[in-house]
Structure 1
Amino acid sequence: MTASDPKADLRFYLQSARDALLWKLEGLPEYDIRRPSTPTGTNLLGLVKHAAGVELGYLGDTFGRPSGEPLPWLEDAAESDADMWATADESREYIVDLYRRAWAHADATIDALALDTIGKVPWWPSGRDEVTLHHAVVRVIADTHRHAGHADIIRELTDGAVGMSKGNDSMAPGGPEWWEKHRGRLERAAREAGRISRDSG
């Protein structure tokens, strides 16, 4: 067993979520990475844009390390949810490059500070705004993995592509015919459970 390295563990899981989020954009045209896929407008490129702001906020501003990146969609005058979608003028390249710069800035903060360093989250209420770097990194990991999961579902619904990461789809073996039968089996089980519930109620 190797010696514990908490920062390395945190960086590993943070990077795996970052990579997964960007991977879900690969091979899709502009429309498909931007189109709203849920009633609340969730979309692939917007998830990346949001994740960039989260990293720059929690792992930059919170610890007195502002990035200098202009993020007009996070200003007080911005419309609600402006960080969750990309305008036609905000290119894929711009959003992806911003996210990669956010990684670098966040990683520099993790490298420079001890995990028990205290920061202040600017948008949290005064008196309840202090947080350790460890807590902030865990929060960012949780948020990024959550949105990577959203991206998984959106991508599968868009073109059927699935997988956890490049070279590791983490899926049961089986072709389209197997998956069609599997889905049918789940549908039948759901209908049967619904019938049982109605009959026993």
Structure 2
Amino acid sequence: MDDSAAKTNLHNYLNHERAAVLAKLDGLSEYDVRRPMTTTGTNLLGLVKHLATWEARYLGEVFGRPFPEPLTRWDLEEERLADMWATADESRADVVDRYRRVWAHSDATIEALSLDDTGRVEWWGAEKVPLFNVLVHVLAETSRHAGHADILREELDGAVGTDAEAMAADGHDAGFWAERRAEIEAAARGAAG
């Protein structure tokens, strides 16, 4: 596979994962997109804000192409987790629109550079990291958080799938999932003795 095809393939997968994360917000209330769903406060809108911050960093400042808006700092303790949740003053539209602006900025970086072009990932303590490595890292991180979003959305209203249409057209009702869960619970209890 040539570099152009590899870059296009990675970029297409990244675009799919980006869209999957945003689809998890569709149809939910303002409270539900912000609601802390885990012990550490993980929430859907916070995942979007976090992904925007770090994609801007990796596909922006790492390659000397800083995103033109302020980002929370990774190296200041008081700001370290500020990208994991949206304040009451930050609207859903603001967070989503910022993520889309980050996409455009990142896409320009991806298009302008070859996979062998290098940047500096300061928080890795690494000099000369190729775009290929950074793009794979951003794809992996986005996929990881898309998986988190899948679980959070399922917990909120049972919706599953990678986009709004799939979530709505799953074809299984609550009764099906209750029976499936009971079957899995019985297997877990059986295995535990």
CA RMSD for the aligned pairs? 2.0
Tell me the residue number matched to 1:147: 145
SS in 1 for 2:70: coil
Tell me the residue number matched to 2:179: 181
Alignment of 1:106-121 (within 5 A): 106-121=106-121
Tell me how far apart the structure 2 counterparts of residues 26 and 74 of structure 1 sit (CA, whole Å): 29
Cα distance change, pair 79–87 in 1 and its aligned pair in 2 (3 A): same
SS in 2 for 1:167: helix
Q: Which amino acid aligns with 2:84?
A: M
Cα distance change, pair 74–86 in 1 and its aligned pair in 2 (3 A): farther
| 1:101 is the counterpart of 2:101 | yes
Alignment of 1:127-146 (within 5 A): 128-146=126-144
Q: Report the Cα offset of residue 175 of structure 1.
A: 2.6
CA contact (8 A) 1:45 1:86 kept: yes
Calculate the TM-score normalised by the size of structure 1.
Answer: 0.88
CA contact (8 A) 2:161 2:170 kept: no
| 1:156 is the counterpart of 2:160 | no
Q: Which runs of 5 or more residues in structure 2 are unaligned?
A: none
Q: Which amino acid aligns with 2:49?
A: K
Q: Which amino acid aligns with 1:149?
A: G
Cα distance change, pair 77–193 in 1 and its aligned pair in 2 (3 A): closer
Post-superposition Cα deviations, 1:124-175, rounded to whole Å, max 9, x if no partner, equal 32xx333100110100000001001000110111111111224345x98533
Cα distance change, pair 75–88 in 1 and its aligned pair in 2 (3 A): farther
Tell me how far apart the structure 2 counterparts of residues 32 and 133 of structure 1 sit (CA, whole Å): 36
Q: Which runs of 5 or more residues in structure 1 are unaligned?
A: 196-201
Tell me how far apart the structure 2 counterparts of residues 90 and 25 of structure 1 sit (CA, whole Å): 15
| 1:66 is the counterpart of 2:66 | yes
Tell me how far apart the structure 1 counterparts of residues 79 and 179 of structure 2 sit (CA, whole Å): 45
Q: Which amino acid aligns with 1:41?
A: G
SS in 2 for 1:100: helix
Tell me how far apart the structure 2 counterparts of residues 149 and 179 of structure 1 sit (CA, whole Å): 19
Calculate the TM-score normalised by the size of structure 2.
Answer: 0.91
Tell me how far apart the structure 1 counterparts of residues 92 and 147 of structure 2 sit (CA, whole Å): 20
CA contact (8 A) 2:150 2:160 kept: yes
Q: Report the Cα offset of residue 179 of structure 1.
A: 1.8
Tell me the residue number matched to 1:199: none
Cα distance change, pair 119–21 in 1 and its aligned pair in 2 (3 A): same
Post-superposition Cα deviations, 1:67-106, rounded to whole Å, max 9, x if no partner, equal 2111245563633311101111111111101100000011
Pick which of 103-112 and 73-82 moved more. Answer: 73-82
Tell me how far apart the structure 2 counterparts of residues 150 and 133 of structure 1 sit (CA, whole Å): 25
Percent of aligned positions with the same letter in both sequences? 54
Q: Which amino acid aligns with 1:189?
A: A
Tell me how far apart the structure 2 counterparts of residues 33 and 68 of structure 1 sit (CA, whole Å): 26
Alignment of 1:28-67 (within 5 A): 28-67=28-67
